[in-house]
Structure 1
């Protein structure tokens, strides 16, 4: 390649030459766009280095926020500045719009999914502030719902207690699209719980069963009209058949050589631990007075 050819090649690819040219084809426009992207990245890096030297960030959080704001600012400024260059040739408009549209869809995939997730949350099968949900193996009370994310007040993982850890967890809305979730709605905020008591084989299980049934029926029975009203409310959107709602005691012989008393009852979700404490105290008090009932201990 001769000197003249090299000079022509250099002039053809010179960014200033391409910028001044009004008759660029698609390839030349893409080359110029590449130059401008490199210039934008270089400008951003230099600016951040100067800012850090002039006024260093006091901690990692401030540095992260500063870089995030600067990055968005550069994208906005250079995006607006590049529009005249990209659209200088109207013949390239359909091609550019197609490429830009594909790039936007790919780069903003999570944003679109967050919007879809918000519509799902607001829909009839979603949830609202105050509901208790479990998603991606994390359980909590919904305390805020935004257009792009929702926030849970975390509940301890131990299903026996349902106690708050006082930690806030933020979920992007797209999680309701990608993961299954479980809801305890305020419309029907009670769940079935089971309390298990193991007795020695020599225990009088009939008497123990009677005492346990008495405890459940005296202390933990939900008003039937309350249960029915909540079921009617929930039946507006779902075909709900709750079946028997009264508490019951199941007695079974276990392989370990023990008798199992399983107390099953409905309880408000936020009173779950309180009711378990109440049952424990009542059982300990009443079994203590019976010489023929012995709680099994390993």
Structure 2
């Protein structure tokens, strides 16, 4: 028994295993201390999330390096075999490798971050987690109208960023241009109607317009893009049935539906208070060159 214990204690392999365990414990204890100190100095949630992910990745990387260094003399004879096996594994796990590369591109390339609203391959939602292999979205839309959550969580492989466009609703310019169309009956007071629409836009959209203008100026400095106006705009056309006013305005990307609701309510109240000077239109049909119609009434 004593001989067995001596052989076990002085066995080089056992010593390397013990050294590996101690080294891994030290790495993760130091990493935990560093994370706690960093988190105490970081108040911004997105920055804390990215630091946590990056530090965990560094911990795994240091663990792999430690194991490779300790057992390096045992791995030398398997170089060729590992090379052939590595090529086969790389081919079999190409999607996984592409997802890891996609994760690096997302974290350091500015595609999106947690909290952003994005559209990936027709799936729209808010980013709630960015893993090494997959991005997790809280989905919006589908059977739910507007930009509201439908309760479904979707996980998408990070390799997607290399294959399809990534639509970001909130990165550099967290506003969208939205439009509503209002049909007005022929013969209405069009100037009064436009006054109503402008009044509603000024009341509800002004706060978005001012903030959007400031953000757009920063966007112009960053990209080669024209200095477009962010003020609400009203245009008019007419067709066979009515005069159509189009109200175009900037709005925060998460408040499209509620803003449209406020605009419609405000406009409807003003039209109803116009004593018939402004009337909303509906589809009409005009009979041209119709023949006489005889009506017989039976008792």
TM-score w.r.t. the length of structure 2 is 0.63
In the alignment, does 2:184 pair up with 1:193? no
Does residue 258 of structure 1 match 2:236?
no
1:204 CA drift (Å): 2.1
Query: Aligned runs of 1:225-244 on 2, under 5 Å?
Result: 226-234=211-219, 237-244=222-229
Tell me the residue number matched to 2:36: none
Are the counterparts in 1 of residues 125 and 137 from structure 2 also a CA contact under 8 Å?
Answer: yes
Q: Does 1:102 align with 2:87?
A: yes
Q: Residue 187 of structure 1: CA displacement?
A: 4.4
Matched ranges for 1:89-238 at <5 A = 94=80, 96-157=81-142, 161-222=146-207, 226-234=211-219, 237-238=222-223
Once the two structures are TM-superposed, the CA of residue 293 in structure 1 deviates from its matched residue by 1.5
1:283 and 2:257 equivalent?
A: no
Q: Residue 141 of structure 2 contacts residue 147 of structure 2 at CA under 8 Å; is this kept in 1?
A: yes
Comparing 186-195 with 237-246, greater Cα deviation is found at 237-246
Q: CA deviation at 1:176?
A: 1.3
Aligned partners of 1:198 and 1:295 also within 8 Å: yes
CA contact (8 A) 1:127 1:183 kept: yes
Q: Considering only aligned residues, what root-mean-square deviation do their CA atoms show, in Å?
A: 2.5
Deviation at 1:295, TM superposition (A): 1.1
Evaluate the alpha carbon distance shift between residue 246 and residue 257 of structure 1 in structure 2; reply closer, same or farther with a 3 A threshold: same
User: Are the equivalent residues in 2 in contact too, given 1:160–1:272 (CA < 8 A)?
Assistant: no
1:157 Cα shift? 3.9
Contact 2:143 2:150 in 1 (8 A): no
The C-alpha deviation readout for 1:185-236, integer Å capped at 9, x for no partner, is 2542111010111122222222211210121012211366533442355456
CA distance in 2, matches of 1:165, 1:213: 34
CA distance in structure 1 between the aligned counterparts of 2:227 and 2:122, rounded to whole angstroms:
25
CA contact (8 A) 2:136 2:156 kept: yes
Once the two structures are TM-superposed, the CA of residue 125 in structure 1 deviates from its matched residue by 3.5
Give, in whole Å, the separation in 2 of the partners of 1:164 and 1:141: 9
Which sections of structure 2, spanning at least 5 residues, go unmatched?
Answer: 1-74, 284-299
* Equivalent residue, structure 2, for 1:296: 281
- Decide whether the 8 Å contact of 1:253 with 1:260 is kept in 2: yes
Cα distance, 1:236–1:117 mapped onto 2, change above 3 Å: farther
Q: Secondary structure, in 3 states, of the residue corresponding to 1:153? A: strand
Of 226-235 and 179-188, more deviation after overlay is shown by 226-235
1:183 to partner: Cα distance: 0.2
Quick check: 2:209–2:250 contact (8 Å CA) kept in 1?
no
Alpha carbons 1:150, 1:172 under 8 Å: kept: yes
Compared with structure 1, are the counterparts of its residues 113 and 235 closer, same or farther at alpha carbon in structure 2 (3 Å cutoff)?
farther
